């Protein structure tokens, strides 16, 4: 009897304790949770979208190798983010530079957690995880068609740990720039850092063999356009999801995303129309991307006139950057710096002049915050990337040897061909 009584009491105490605990945490907000689940799925859709966008732009012999760069980021970062990435980006801050929280390692302590905004922490962790996946996948475009698969895998794993996670912590997770620099959905953390990393890696690894003498035609601009369409759709999750709510801010971010993408696309084909008398499909989709990248840091904080301006400026500066690249002759294969880096920098800095609300510290103070945010992203990414590219190249090897590069990634690295129908069997 006594024993049973004791057990009953123990159970009651536990139950009471757990209900008391539960009443201290926020309730699930089903509206916000539903939108965040949708956004998480939309951002994941961007990665196959990116695979198609990049895959269509390379030569036939490299289509699978290039798409594998995006898809393998889903595999590699998907695991690393669960193990320690989330903890490093959103754990308790260590000196404002990187986070760490034993509860978040392997997501072990968040099984039952409902966050302040009323969403399960799992949803937030997975939403943020998609950003961690897409960032290294974007970099891959800069050294497409000329790297070893093994070297690439090691590189993105290390880059995620040493560059992305600390940067995400600094700007979003409680680090020293959190709250100062406006980076609504990752203009600096994602696009500027990926763009600069791409530039550094492309410069270190050197050009593809034959570049720029040999014509290197896209194997399927049709696939590139489909990929750009998926990216545009996915970007609504990327930007509007970054409000981490389902309300006014979400609607504002979604509208600005749509407006800037359209303005960027229109600006690009206008530039081409004036300069070349022909609007190209690749130009139009490049404009979509430049517009989307430029609005990313600003989506929640500007008005439509700002969205149109940022879209146009993103395209203008990206177009100019790519023209200059062709003069310099370095081989950023798919213009990762030209589009993500340049439009990202333009968006992050110019947004200051289009803010909905006057910034608390005044315009100049905000401009300083924005420039320092961009500066930190450029510095961290450039230094981290240079170190990692060098390290990977000296250990497992990064740059592909001549024979396999000329034979194409698909057959020489993966033992496959992208398009069977080009052969009789």
Answer whether 392's CB lies under 8 Å from 158's CB. Answer: yes
Nearer to other proteins, 122 or 149 (CB): 149
Nearer to other proteins, 357 or 402 (CB): 402
List Cβ<8 Å contacts ≥24 apart for 150-154: 150/396, 150/397, 151/392, 151/393, 151/396, 151/397, 151/398, 151/399, 152/69, 152/72, 152/398, 153/72, 153/76, 154/392, 154/395, 154/396
- Residue 401 within binding range of other proteins, rule CB under 8 A: no
Phi-psi region of 416 (alpha: psi -120 to 50; beta: other; left: phi over 0): beta
Residue 358, CB-side half-sphere exposure with 13 Å CA sphere = 3
- Residue 2 within binding range of other proteins, rule CB under 8 A: no
- Residue 24 within binding range of other proteins, rule CB under 8 A: no
Nearer to other proteins, 40 or 62 (CB): 62
Region from 7-15, 95-103, 391-399, 409-417 binding other proteins, contact rule CB under 8 A: 409-417
Answer whether 381's CB lies under 8 Å from 337's CB. Answer: no
- Residue 403 within binding range of other proteins, rule CB under 8 A: yes
Nearer to other proteins, 150 or 209 (CB): 209
Distances from the Cα of 370 to the Cαs of 49, 89, 365, in angstroms? 29, 20, 9
- Residue 399 within binding range of other proteins, rule CB under 8 A: no
For residue 409, the minimal CB distance to other proteins (Å) is 11
- Copy the structure tokens of residue 324: 């200059």
- Within 235-264, the residues that bind other proteins by CB under 8 A are none
- Taking the C-alpha atoms of residue 117 and residue 136, their distance in angstroms, rounded to an integer, is 29
Tell me which residue of 146, 144, 182 sits closest to 57, measured CA to CA.
144
Distances from the Cα of 264 to the Cαs of 90, 146, 207, 261, 290, in angstroms? 33, 30, 29, 5, 6
Nearer to other proteins, 24 or 420 (CB): 420
**What are φ and ψ of residue 386, in 5° steps?**
-60, -45
Distances from the Cα of 68 to the Cαs of 47, 91, 334, 412, in angstroms? 11, 31, 15, 14
- Number of shown-chain residues binding other proteins (CB under 8 A): 18
- Residue 424 within binding range of other proteins, rule CB under 8 A: yes
- Residue 329 within binding range of other proteins, rule CB under 8 A: no
Region from 50-58, 141-149, 295-303, 402-410 binding other proteins, contact rule CB under 8 A: 402-410
Nearer to other proteins, 23 or 423 (CB): 423
Instruction: Please state the length of the chain.
Output: 425
- Considering only 206, 210, 247, 361, the residue that binds other proteins (CB under 8 A) is 210
Site string (27-66) toward other proteins, x via CB under 8 A:
----------------------------------x-----
Look at the alpha carbons of 350, 226, 132, 161 in this order and tell me if their dihedral is positive or negative. Answer: negative
- Considering only 293, 408, 409, 418, the residue that binds other proteins (CB under 8 A) is 408
Region from 91-99, 129-137, 164-172, 417-425 binding other proteins, contact rule CB under 8 A: 417-425
- Residue 417 within binding range of other proteins, rule CB under 8 A: yes
- Considering only 214, 329, 394, 421, the residue that binds other proteins (CB under 8 A) is 214
For residue 213, the minimal CB distance to other proteins (Å) is 8
DSSP state of 99: E
- Residue 218 within binding range of other proteins, rule CB under 8 A: no
- Residue 217 within binding range of other proteins, rule CB under 8 A: no
Region from 74-82, 168-176, 305-313, 415-423 binding other proteins, contact rule CB under 8 A: 415-423
- Considering only 174, 411, 418, 421, the residue that binds other proteins (CB under 8 A) is 411
Nearer to other proteins, 64 or 346 (CB): 64
- Copy the structure tokens of residue 282: 């690749």
C-alpha angle 213-214-218 in degrees, rounded to nearest 5: 130
Tell me which residue of 338, 375, 339, 371 sits closest to 352, measured CA to CA.
371
- Residue 421 within binding range of other proteins, rule CB under 8 A: no
Residues near other proteins, by CB under 8 A: 61, 209-210, 213-214, 403, 406-408, 411, 414-417, 422-425
């Amino acid at each position: 009897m006594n024993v049973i009584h004791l057990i009953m009491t123990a159970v009651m105490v536990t139950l009471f304790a757990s209900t008391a605990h539960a009443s201290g945490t926020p309730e699930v907000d089903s509206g916000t949770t539903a939108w965040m689940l949708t956004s998480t799925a939309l951002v994941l859709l961007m990665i196959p979208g990116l695979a198609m966008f990049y895959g269509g732009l390379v030569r036939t012999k490299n289509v699978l190798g290039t798409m594998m760069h995006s898809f393998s980021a889903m595999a590699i970062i998907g695991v690393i983010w669960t193990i320690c990435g989330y903890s490093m980006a959103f754990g308790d801050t260590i000196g404002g530079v990187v986070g760490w929280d034993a509860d978040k390692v392997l997501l072990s302590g968040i099984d039952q957690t409902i966050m302040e905004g009323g969403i399960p922490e799992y949803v937030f962790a997975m939403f943020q995880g998609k950003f961690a996946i897409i960032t290294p996948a974007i970099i891959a475009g800069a050294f497409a068609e000329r790297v070893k698969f093994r070297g690439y895998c090691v590189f993105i794993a290390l880059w995620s740990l040493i560059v992305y996670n600390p940067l995400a912590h600094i700007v979003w997770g409680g680090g020293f720039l959190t709250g100062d620099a406006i980076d609504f959905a990752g203009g600096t953390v994602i696009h500027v850092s990926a763009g600069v990393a791409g530039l550094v890696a492309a410069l270190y690894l050197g050009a593809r063999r034959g570049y720029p003498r040999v014509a290197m035609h896209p194997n399927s601009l049709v696939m590139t356009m489909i990929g750009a369409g998926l990216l545009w759709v996915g970007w609504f999750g990327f930007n509007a999801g970054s409000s981490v709510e389902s309300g006014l801010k979400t609607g504002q971010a979604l509208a600005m995303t749509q407006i800037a993408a359209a303005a960027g696309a229109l600006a690009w084909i206008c530039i081409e129309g004036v300069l070349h008398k022909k609007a190209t499909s690749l130009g139009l989709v490049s404009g979509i991307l430049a517009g989307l990248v430029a609005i990313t840091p600003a989506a929640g904080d500007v008005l439509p006139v700002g969205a149109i301006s940022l879209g146009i400026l993103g395209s203008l500066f990206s177009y100019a950057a790519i023209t200059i690249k062709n003069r310099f002759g370095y081989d950023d294969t798919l213009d990762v710096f030209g589009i993500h880096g340049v439009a990202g920098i333009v968006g992050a800095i110019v947004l200051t002049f289009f803010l909905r609300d006057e910034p608390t510290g005044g315009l100049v103070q905000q401009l300083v915050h924005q420039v320092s945010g961009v500066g930190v992203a450029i510095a961290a990414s450039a230094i981290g990337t240079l170190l990692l590219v060098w390290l990977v190249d000296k250990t497992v090897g990064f740059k592909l040897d001549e024979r396999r590069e000329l034979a194409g990634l698909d057959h020489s690295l993966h033992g496959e061909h992208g398009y069977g129908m080009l052969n009789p069997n």
